Amino acid sequence: MKNKCFCCEKNLKNECNKPLSACYDAVAFDSNGNFGSSIFDPFEIDARIMIHICDSCLKKKAKLVCYHQQKTIKQIENLQTFDKKLKKDELAEKKRDSFTKKVLERLRNQKHKSRKNIHREC
């Protein structure tokens, strides 16, 4: 059984070619069913289904994905749609990149100035 994206059905690569192993560029969704489902609400406690969705499809449908952080069964925080979480992450990454560039630029300038001072002393 090959791992394929649940949405676009493209083949997904994984490390050891086993059906339940982690895939590259995809997220696995594993469920033990749902009480309200008419097709998968098993009595067996160990029965599970799993699907993979490639990163590209997940990003395309991010508005339909619920994101949250679950501290305990009852304590759910930061409930939002996944597209908003992705946008926040992108902004944070841009800020980090901008900060890193500024720091690197300062270090280069300091290095350049200190070289000039060394040359003046010679």
Contact between 23 and Zn ion per CB under 5 A: no
Q: Is 6 or 33 the residue whose CB approaches Zn ion more closely?
A: 6
Retrieve residue 120's tokens: 């003046």
Please list every residue from 79 through 118 that binds Zn ion, using CB under 5 A: none
Contact between 54 and Zn ion per CB under 5 A: yes
Q: Report which of 101, 82, 83 is spatially closest to residue 93, judged by C-alpha positions.
A: 101
Q: How far apart are CA 59 and CA 64, in angstroms?
A: 10
Contact between 57 and Zn ion per CB under 5 A: yes
Residue 44's alpha-carbon distances to 31, 40, 41, in angstroms, are 13, 11, 9
Q: Least distance (Å) from Zn ion to the CB of residue 78? A: 26
Candidates 1, 4, 8, 21; binder of Zn ion (CB under 5 A) is 8
Q: How far apart are CA 81 and CA 79, in angstroms?
A: 7
Report how many residues bind Zn ion under the rule CB under 5 A. Answer: 5
Site residues (vs Zn ion, CB under 5 A): 5, 7-8, 54, 57
